[in-house]
A and B are shown apart, each in its own frame.
Chain A
Amino acid sequence: MSTTPTTQDSSLPPIEEAALRKALSSTERPPRASALSATLTFGWRGMLKVKHVPEQLLDVTITPVMFVLMFTYLFGGAIAGSTGDYLDYILPGVLVMSVLFTTVYSGISLNTDLTKGVVDRFRSLPIWRPAPLVGALLGDSVRYLVAGTVIVVLGVALGFRPGAGVPGVAAAMALVIVFAFGLSWVFTTMGLLLRSPNAVMNAGFMSIFPLTFLSNVFVEPETLPSALEAFVDINPISILATASRGLMEGNAEAGDIAIVLAVATALTAVFAPLTNRLYRSR
């Protein structure tokens, strides 16, 4: 690993002995940070990274914009007869897809952290052990929110008028983010098992890409070969997309929502402890 120093060491000011000694003697050990406070601090760390490199939000905003425009105008007429009808169908779907794609980045950024010494520092601190992981995912949830908002705003600009209005859209967004939170534990596990950020990116997208396309995000499954249709019907991403459409239109089925929440809980229950264990034993 090489760095590009911008400052010559020889131009560094000397350390004043008196100031150093004062700094060393002036601390009292504070009470331990609470689990919540430690977790929120890691969430803040995630925010700061976005603040310093806002370009990283381009990933989560441009892709969904491209997808909305491309699918609506390129395929809308062919698939649904008119671009307007297709927009109503695809917008909640693209919301699901974009946010789920973003979850892969959680694994990538965890893996990036691991290649640097900073993780050892975190692990040597007297904090609630899962705080770095949970905090990072909380920070990532803000990205999911950004991606989701961009899509909805674009949709409205293109003529999307969801039946359940703002509360419906908010509920759909919340459901998608909860599911994304659960799914992102899968990618943090990957992030700890694979060797490089690139490997995580490839493995992550290789799994999320087919899962998303083999769902009802883009097309109604009725036209598919029956085996494929059977898979699409049980794909949790399909159920999430259906539930999101329902929430936006005001006709969601409680069963769908329950399944989505159950899958998110199950993913968290399996992969969060696994991530945590791997993180500790690195």
Chain B
Amino acid sequence: MTVESAVNDFTIRVATVNGSGSQSSNLVIANAIFRLGIPVAPKNVFPSNIEGLPTWFDVRVTPQGYQCRSHDVDVLVALNPATWASDLAGVKPGGIVVHEATYPANSARADVTFYAVPFAELAKSHFDPGAMRKYLINMVYVGVVAQLLDIPADAIEAAVAAQFRKKPAAVEINMRAVSVGMDYARERFEKPKRYRLERIAGGTDGLTFMDGNRAAALGCVMAGCTVAAWYPITPSSSLCESFIALCDRYRVDPVTKERRVAIVQAEDELAAIGMVFGASWAGARAMTSTSGPGISLMAEYVGFGYYAELPGVIFDVQRAGPSTGLPTRTMQGDLASVYTLSHGDTKHIVLLPATVREAYEYAMAAFDLADRFQTPVFVLSDLDLGMNAWMTPPLPYPERGFDRGKVLDADDLAKLESWGRYRDVDGDAIPYRTLPGTPHENAGYFTRGTGHDEQAHYSEDAAMFAGNLDRLVRKHEAARAAVPAPEIDEAGNAVAIVAYGTTHHAVVEARDRLRERGIETDYLRVRGLPLAREIAAFIERHERVYVVEQNRDGQLYGILRGEVPVSAIERLRSIRHYNGVPIDAHAIVDPFLDAERPAVTA
């Protein structure tokens, strides 16, 4: 068998048992390789469980800096007897397998190299009994992997120090465990020839790791969000928890201890969204963060916010549905339901971040858009973006101030003879509002979800009702130009790809794979709803347009079909991925080639 070398280009998969504390070790591996200047893409595939179920962590090492999951497993670290057989079966021919020595050998995989390590024995002989010992096993495999792949000790040490920066006392014992693994491997194993790491000078300079939930929380702080109401739900909880941690540090007066924020863990999502609208009505910037099941519960209030025209920001960190689904797996399954959430005719502004930086920037943009358009705004993230660590440049300090939209204060009211809460004064379909507490006798109005006239009085007048719905549509139409514009990479090719959110990262790699086969594609990434007008034009400039997304029903495909001109509809194709695991390039390339084959042969 000829062995082509894979320098800086392979995927390490660690298979362990949930609750064994392996996450820190896996992040140390990722971070140490990153410190060599080599781009990495960590992906945690974990169960909905506290302890006992299988969990996997992939560290993709990639000279091109691909951030999507890899289809292949090159290096397996097997520490879960329950999944040993299937984990082994998944290793690429020529791969290497580090495993607990007590696991049965498998003669069927003569095409991989086995490195048997008595992890339990090593831990027993080197460390005192106690709770720490099982965690230290994880650092032993870090040492074995470091030795086999040639990760220098200083990189490991720096990564361990970074991982335990909040408990420096733990650094020494963890490094000792790393040494146990390194020593064991050095004495017994030859380094694999195929998989090697080579330092890339400056390869990761200016980058750092961050997850999308923390980035979104930073966006909320910088957007001046002062009221957050939430109900814990995976995978969105860490967004609000990050917001809490940031506010504890930056929103508390050092002298008086007064807080410039209110964060409420609500009794359910019905209450969380109610608090958001109550707070935004009273003038605060307010948000909630949830996932699919919470979105379903918020439906009624979101319709109220839409119709009564209240700002509010809702983060939906999507997980795999329907129903409880796979609570700890990723999906883009909420696009359609969020876009038109609630009964009656409703349409919402939805922002679609694909990167950590966009999670931060769209969080800020969401508050501005909510205030400007006086309507609920969704930021649709997903578990992959929200909870995985991504390489990112540091987030820039916002250069723009808040856009609080059309709010009349007492001075404004003094200059006006009258005003109407739902009167379209400027012809842009966006009326003016006042805040409770405004000291002017004309400030008050009656906010309601029932039919209302321009003065916000109850009205069942047919023309009035329809006219108001028409104004809301005009407002929505205007938002097409206000949401983040699509990102377009176009060179006059006949075939194009359209995607959004985290699917983007698999598209990047898929286009390279296709290019290697001589197939050039154009690409448009949708970054918000309602659809920007140039999207339809882009589709019409292409013969075939593949809409790639991580859901079963082709939800963006459906929205496009509903909103683009008839002449564009027939150009649309759909590629869908929905098994809960982040999409990889193969999941695009394979169906793309299948669909294109008739075209190519013709």
Q: Do A and B come together as binding partners?
A: no
Interface of B toward A, CB cutoff 8 Å:
none
